[in-house]
Amino acid sequence: MFQKDLDRQEVKLNQVCSCHPISNVFVTPFPDGLFTRNVDDFTTSDSSKEQSSNGRRGASTGRNPRSPSRSTPTREVLPHTESSVLANNVSHFSSVPLNTGLLESLSQNLGQYATPTDIQRLSLSHFFKRNPGLSDPSPVVQSTLSSSQTLLASQTGSGKSIAYMLPMLHSIKWRELAKQDEQPDAPLRPQWAPKGLILAPTHELSRQLSRFAKGLCHNIKLRVFCLSQENRGNSPEKKDDMDFVHVPLSNGTAEIEIRREDAVGSERTAHGPQRPVDVMIGTAGRVLDLTRGRQWRDDMEKIMDRNPWERDEPKAENSVGRLNHPDWKPSIDLSEIEWVVMDEADVVYGPDFIQTTEMLLNDIASAKLKRPLSKIGATSHQTTAYPFNLILCTATIPNSLDQYISTKYPSMERLTSVRLHQLPRSITPEHVPYSGGNRAADIATRIRSVWLEEGMERRGEKSKILLFCNKSSKAEKLAQYLNEQDIPTVALVRVLDKGKRNKNNDQSIESFLKFDEGSVKVRRKQESTADGQQEPRVLATTSLLSRGLDFSPSVKHVFIIDEPNNMVDFIHRAGRTGRAGQEGKVVIFSKSRGRGSARAMTGVRGEIMQKVGLRPTRHLVRRPADAFAS
């Protein structure tokens, strides 16, 4: 594929991360995301990526000429949202009857004196106080818990992962213990029939969430399994990998497949001493691949080719037999699912992913109710009450998501913290106009001055810096330039650059992410493989890494090199620093002062400058206060 095409695709990803008007989300009769592209395409090894990169999938599907074009960046409006009333009676994690093993894990992970953040207080209060099923095993109370719908919305870095993981993990453990008391001799459920499912838009985020969940589950002995394995070729390193066959792909990476003897329907349901998987984490596309079998995409694609404009979801699905098509080999049993979490909900419910997301939710409902989809009336246009708990989690609620929730999940409880859609207070914004000469040189100068300002260069402890560009090609060129200037930089961009996104890249990103076990592992690897090269202190990337990832507190600066597509994109890029109350700075680059700078200060950049309260330059054309203003 040509560079231009790749760049065009990437601009689209940036738009994906910012969502689109509601008409694009669910009224469009022929949403094309599932068959043209997937966030997976931009991340790690995946069969869909293989197909997408050779253009087959994109070529075989058309775009509904009646649907609004998605090629123009949208000015997504972030509506004003009322913050929920904070529960003052949940000042500590122990204020609710949380499983003691979970309390221990929290203190091991966050420190002895950690108290819940606002969104965690809201969540704990909501799930424990309003759902006595989390502490009362009586069947009547239990059934009230089994179909709640909740939205958790708060600023970046405010601890939303713990806010949804605690009620889910507590509930799964609570119900397991209650069942053991009732039926001590009940047979073990199948290996691959999880109780909880956490869906994220990228493999990177899935992996990070999975590590975090494993840390929380350590004491309560729930088994967490990540479907987004790292690229390890055929040499599995962890015990969990033994459950998978690694299928090498032509680009040097590997795909995973659950071992046939452990898959659904096999006689062997328990695998050695391993307990069944309790929580599974991955992208919706990967889960569908494993529940329906890899061929489902191809079969669906054939149907789309045959009858693209009159596509009707239940009809298309019925005509291929849905879950039980003889050619599809389902590997995961969805019938035991009790909790589904959609992390980064505005992306997962965005136009390019909505179809996969809805399909998976419908599959779960269908598996649980043991009825075909057509019988549960699950079309895109209807309100839906699923037979499981659904949690949507996001730092931004664009109009599109807001309206989608109102239409599709009218009874969804919205838990929203204060200052949603604003930069966290721990982030200081700064504006740097380019000098008018070599822009890359200006960036290098600012990086050096950051390290000088910190006075850390002398101690050899430079902080880490993230650079956000709009295009992979630009991030790569910038990284090359900075390396030539003796500023150790790594570019982490789309996976379509075959060979570049390899084990070393995965290692590079880990050294920027916050996770104790990960960083220890990375440090050890780096020590053993030291080849005289300096460890990168700067990571140049695109919006690919702007979503949900918990970067290390040593990432003190985020540089916004290119104008983000909109405020949503900006909030997520900036939010990679200043996490959990740590101090961080977002540096916004813009055109040099003088001719043309007035234009530079309008548009999204101008809105951002106003929004973050940066003193406008002389040339800034003021825009009327808009919905971003709180």
Residues that bind ligand ATP (CB under 6 A): 110, 114, 116-117, 120, 156-162, 395, 514, 548, 550, 575, 579-580
Provide the angle, in degrees to the nearest 10, between the axes of the packed helices 472-484 and 439-454. Answer: 60
Q: Is the Cβ of residue 158 or residue 489 nearer to ligand ATP in the bound state?
A: 158
From the CB of 75, what's the least distance to ligand ATP, in Å? Answer: 22
Confirm if 297 and 48 have CB atoms less than 8 A apart: yes
Confirm if 612 and 423 have CB atoms less than 8 A apart: yes
What does the alpha-carbon distance between residue 480 and residue 513 come to, in Å, rounded to a whole number?
A: 22
Nearest in space to 608 (alpha carbons), one of 592, 591, 593, 586: 586
From the CB of 88, what's the least distance to ligand ATP, in Å? Answer: 16
> CB under 8 Å to 562, separation ≥6 — which residues?
468, 469, 470, 471, 474
From the CB of 545, what's the least distance to ligand ATP, in Å? Answer: 11
Q: Is the Cβ of residue 162 or residue 545 nearer to ligand ATP in the bound state?
A: 162
Q: Is the Cβ of residue 19 or residue 395 nearer to ligand ATP in the bound state?
A: 395
What does the alpha-carbon distance between residue 557 and residue 603 come to, in Å, rounded to a whole number?
A: 24
Q: Is the Cβ of residue 20 or residue 572 nearer to ligand ATP in the bound state?
A: 572
Burial class (CB in 10 A: 0-12, 13-18, 19+), 554: middle
What does the alpha-carbon distance between residue 607 and residue 473 come to, in Å, rounded to a whole number?
A: 26
> CB under 8 Å to 348, separation ≥6 — which residues?
199, 200, 201, 284, 342, 357
Q: In the sheet that 149-153 helps form, which strands lie side by side, from edge to edge?
A: 224-226, 279-282, 196-199, 339-342, 389-394, 149-153, 413-416
From the CB of 292, what's the least distance to ligand ATP, in Å? Answer: 29
CA 10 to chain centre: 17
Q: Point out the residue whose Cβ comes nearest to ligand ATP.
A: 159
Q: Is the Cβ of residue 550 or residue 569 nearer to ligand ATP in the bound state?
A: 550
Q: Is the Cβ of residue 38 or residue 161 nearer to ligand ATP in the bound state?
A: 161
Any bridge partners for residue 513, and if so which? 551
Burial class (CB in 10 A: 0-12, 13-18, 19+), 239: exposed
From the CB of 102, what's the least distance to ligand ATP, in Å? Answer: 13
Q: Is the Cβ of residue 156 or residue 362 nearer to ligand ATP in the bound state?
A: 156
Any bridge partners for residue 280, and if so which? 197, 225
What does the alpha-carbon distance between residue 397 and residue 382 come to, in Å, rounded to a whole number?
A: 21
Tokens of 512: 């920027």
From the CB of 582, what's the least distance to ligand ATP, in Å? Answer: 9
Provide the angle, in degrees to the nearest 10, between the axes of the packed helices 516-528 and 203-217. Answer: 110
What does the alpha-carbon distance between residue 570 and residue 14 come to, in Å, rounded to a whole number?
A: 11
Any bridge partners for residue 589, and if so which? 432
Phi, psi of 318 (to 5 degrees): -65, -40
From the CB of 106, what's the least distance to ligand ATP, in Å? Answer: 8
Q: Is the Cβ of residue 164 or residue 296 nearer to ligand ATP in the bound state?
A: 164
From the CB of 611, what's the least distance to ligand ATP, in Å? Answer: 17
Q: Is the Cβ of residue 73 or residue 575 nearer to ligand ATP in the bound state?
A: 575
Summary count for the chain: helices (H), strands (E): 23, 15
Q: Is the Cβ of residue 45 or residue 105 nearer to ligand ATP in the bound state?
A: 105
In residues, how long is the chain? 630
Confirm if 562 and 470 have CB atoms less than 8 A apart: yes
Q: Is the Cβ of residue 45 or residue 117 nearer to ligand ATP in the bound state?
A: 117
Q: Mapping DSSP to helix (H, G, I), strand (E, B) and coil, where does residue 596 land?
A: coil
From the CB of 117, what's the least distance to ligand ATP, in Å? Answer: 5
> Pairing state of beta strands 339-342 and 389-394?
parallel
What does the alpha-carbon distance between residue 275 and residue 273 come to, in Å, rounded to a whole number?
A: 6
From the CB of 564, what's the least distance to ligand ATP, in Å? Answer: 15
Q: Is the Cβ of residue 43 or residue 158 nearer to ligand ATP in the bound state?
A: 158
From the CB of 14, what's the least distance to ligand ATP, in Å? Answer: 17
What does the alpha-carbon distance between residue 472 and residue 436 come to, in Å, rounded to a whole number?
A: 23
From the CB of 514, what's the least distance to ligand ATP, in Å? Answer: 5
Q: Is the Cβ of residue 134 or residue 200 nearer to ligand ATP in the bound state?
A: 200
From the CB of 366, what's the least distance to ligand ATP, in Å? Answer: 30
